[in-house]
Structure 1
Amino acid sequence: MDLRFTQLYQGFVWRFELRKLSYELNKSQIEDLMNAYYEENDGYPALEMIVYGRAPLMFTKYCSMRKLNQCRVCKTKSYELKDEHGTFPILSHEDCTSTLLNGKTLNLLDELPNIKGIEALRLNFTVESKEQVVNVIHMASSKLNGSMNNAVFNQETETRGHFNKEIV
């Protein structure tokens, strides 16, 4: 395949599909990525960034409830793993796979006014109640339109991930 065609195709895919940024990227790395893309393509990429939600830590085909002869109990109750660092919610799926979630919720809502050039900001809800979902949507909207200036970050239950960290 012709190299120019491959580059053209990759540029086409980048321009017309949202690309979700990794949880591991910090603010500087995101800016560098966007600037490098702009220099190569005379435009910014269509990027999506998760600004709220529990990051998946592990996906597994192992079902601990089946091992205890309690298959499908996970469909009626919620479960979590607990260790010296805290508790980690487990999402059970219909195919008996599960996802272990971070014990702390990623919360970048206070950063929203400073996040520039990202086409879509995602609020990723997994184990939140209906009331929590409504509250987070209200806070995000208020942060974006500038009507809320007070901090909403709770250091005990939430994390900013790598966003403000300088990783060498």
Structure 2
Amino acid sequence: MNFSECLFLLAVITSAAHANDALDAVSFMEGRWRFVSTFFENGAWGTPQEPKEAVTERTLGDAFIRMNLPVTFPGATFQFEMTLSYDRFNQVYRLAVLDDLNGFMDMYSGQMKNGVLTMTNVETGTAFPDGKGGLVFGKLELHKTADGFQLHGFVSSAPEGPFENYMKMAFTAEPTAK
């Protein structure tokens, strides 16, 4: 192995460690959770939905964090899979959100700042059609709470915003079976 190959290998190993450090920053998501979804309606937070259960775990050699969960929207319940990674080559978090009702894969990307991971689908090309010829852009904020974590969703009809409240999901540790 020549010197430049050694440098390349060292760079790959170092960036892989950085990617793991970045995922460790959101490892608070791992585990079994009970969560409650609440939607923003008519200028106020609506009635919280019935609690549901979610499981979040590392996958594919700990390179990704995957969450499976049912989400009840007004009129329908979707099964979601969310897979989070850290792109060590471009220094950005990426989140794939898949649902079983539409067969849609929504992609988000963003950064961690002050303990809040903020991601949008503005630059990913996966904004959702609004049914009137326009698009709905999404923004997600993920942060740790005293007893779990919260995922807060925002929407906008314009890529530059403003983004308005759409939903929030509060996750708390699921009690262990006795």
Q: TM-score range by the shorter chain?
A: under 0.3
Greater helix share, 1 or 2?
1
- TM-score with structure 1 length normalisation? 0.26
Larger Rg: 1
Q: Which structure is higher in RCO with an 8 Å CA cutoff and minimum separation 6?
A: 1
